[in-house]
Amino acid sequence: MILIAVAVIFTIFILIAIIKMYKLKAENKKLMQTNAFTDYEESGEELSSGHLYGDH
């Protein structure tokens, strides 16, 4: 009985994870179709110019 309960809870968690994965994939696809990603790439901004790299 306990094994069945654990299996059901685990299955529910897996289903929730799969649903979230598809929602994130759809959101990522929508964001990639906008110009925000291409504008950032075209700007040529360096990621290494942050304060964590000590270039002050």
55/41 Cα distance (integer angstroms): 22
Question: What pLDDT, on the 0 to 100 scale, is given for residue 48?
Answer: 59
Could you state, in order of their start, the residue ranges of all structural domains in the chain? 1-33
Quick: pLDDT tens for 2-55. Answer: 999 999 999 999 999 999 999 999 998 888 887 665 655 555 555 555 566 665
Tokens 């291409």 belong to residue? 38
> What 3-state DSSP class applies to 55?
coil
Is 33 in contact with 39 (CB distance < 8 Å)? no
Under a CB-based contact definition with an 8 Å cutoff, are residues 21 and 27 in contact? no
Residue 33: the pLDDT is 80
pLDDT recorded at residue 24:
95
Cα 6 to its chain centre, rounded Å, is: 28
pLDDT for 19 equals 97
